[in-house]
Amino acid sequence: MRRFEGRSALVTGAGSGIGRATVLRLLTEGATVVAADVSEAGLKDTAGLAAVHAGRLHTRVVDVADESSVREAVAGAVTDLGGGLDVLVNAAGILRSAHTHDTPLDLWNQILAVNLTGTFLTTREALPALLAAGRGVIVNFSSTAASFAHPYMAAYAASKGGIQSFTHAIAAEYAKQGLRAVCVAPGSIASGMTDGSGASGRNRGPGLPEDSDWELFGKLRPALFGEGFADPATGFVGPEAVAGVVAMLASDDGAFVTGTEVRIDGGTHM
């Protein structure tokens, strides 16, 4: 499929995990992509995996929690893409875990700054170019944690719930200008965020409390296991499962989808 031939995209969180998988999927389908991440090393690894598409891939280092960094990166990305932008994928995010009664304010603020404020800042800066495109698309990243109980992740869940509400609001605000805004809500996905393998220290794994009650996680396992589905040992599936859904939503195949979220969790929360 070449659903993105002649179209351009900016993907944050592109240095690892789902963001990287999304960049590779969009490139494979013909898009010209700017991959953005806080980790320069992660972006180099992404570029290495996308070497066959080198002529259509640009990279930008960005701290999505920093307003000036976002402003500079988005402006640079639009320039890299020839002055236009068709698709924005806000995949940048962090996951931290703690007992809520032990959560320091600086940790709470960090999670919301990267996940929620970062999504807002990148969206705000990209909106003029997306609206000028006439049929711009924003794909934001929520999580199953926004709607279902994930213990020890109150701050993360709050940030992702905020992203869902934000997405609904901008979908309504800009629909008459041809913009679509939609969320994906992944769960049970193996990535640098969940397994600690991210290129940036910011993306280290959730670090569950040592005294975590594992019985609380008993219901957080997908229904689909086996070849092509979740690993029976871990209950996780690769990030490509999410990238495929993102590509569908951002393409014309998703042209009648906006102001909603699509859960990608293998039936964990049926």
Instruction: Give yes or no for residue 200 having a pLDDT over 50.
Output: no
CATH number assigned to the domain comprising residue 162: 3.40.50.720
Helix and strand tally (H, E) in the chain?
8, 7
Look up tokens 């590509």; give the residue. Answer: 247
pLDDT number for residue 215: 72
pLDDT number for residue 201: 46
Better-predicted residue by pLDDT, 66 or 195: 66
User: Is residue 270 a part of any domain in this protein?
Assistant: no
pLDDT number for residue 199: 45
User: Is residue 1 a part of any domain in this protein?
Assistant: no
Total-model pTM: 0.91
Q: What is the tens place of the pLDDT at every residue in 23-54?
A: 999 999 999 999 999 999 999 999 999 999 98
User: Is residue 107 a part of any domain in this protein?
Assistant: yes
User: Is residue 156 a part of any domain in this protein?
Assistant: yes
DSSP states along 210-257:
TT--GGGGTT-S-S-BSTTSB-TTT--B-THHHHHHHHHHHSGGGTT-
Q: What distances in angstroms separate CA 75 from CA 78, 79, 269, one per listed residue?
A: 5, 6, 39
Q: What is the tens place of the pLDDT at every residue in 4-25?
A: 999 999 999 999 999 999 999 9
Q: What is the tens place of the pLDDT at every residue in 74-126?
A: 999 999 999 999 999 999 999 999 999 999 999 999 999 999 999 999 999 99
pLDDT number for residue 93: 97
User: Is residue 253 a part of any domain in this protein?
Assistant: yes
Instruction: Give yes or no for residue 214 having a pLDDT over 80.
Output: no
Give the domain range for residue 121.
Answer: 8-264
Q: What is the mean pLDDT of the chain?
A: 92
Can you tell me whether residue 135 is helix, strand or coil? coil
Q: Which of 130-144, 164-178, 200-214, 241-255 has the lowest mean pLDDT?
A: 200-214
Mean per-residue pLDDT, 234-256:
94
Q: What is the tens place of the pLDDT at every residue in 149-172?
A: 889 999 999 999 999 999 999 999
Q: What is the count of structural domains for the chain? A: 1
Would you tell me how many other CB atoms lie within 10 Å of the CB of residue 50?
21
Would you tell me how many other CB atoms lie within 10 Å of the CB of residue 169?
12
pLDDT number for residue 237: 87
Q: What are the catalytic residues?
A: 156
User: Is residue 2 a part of any domain in this protein?
Assistant: no
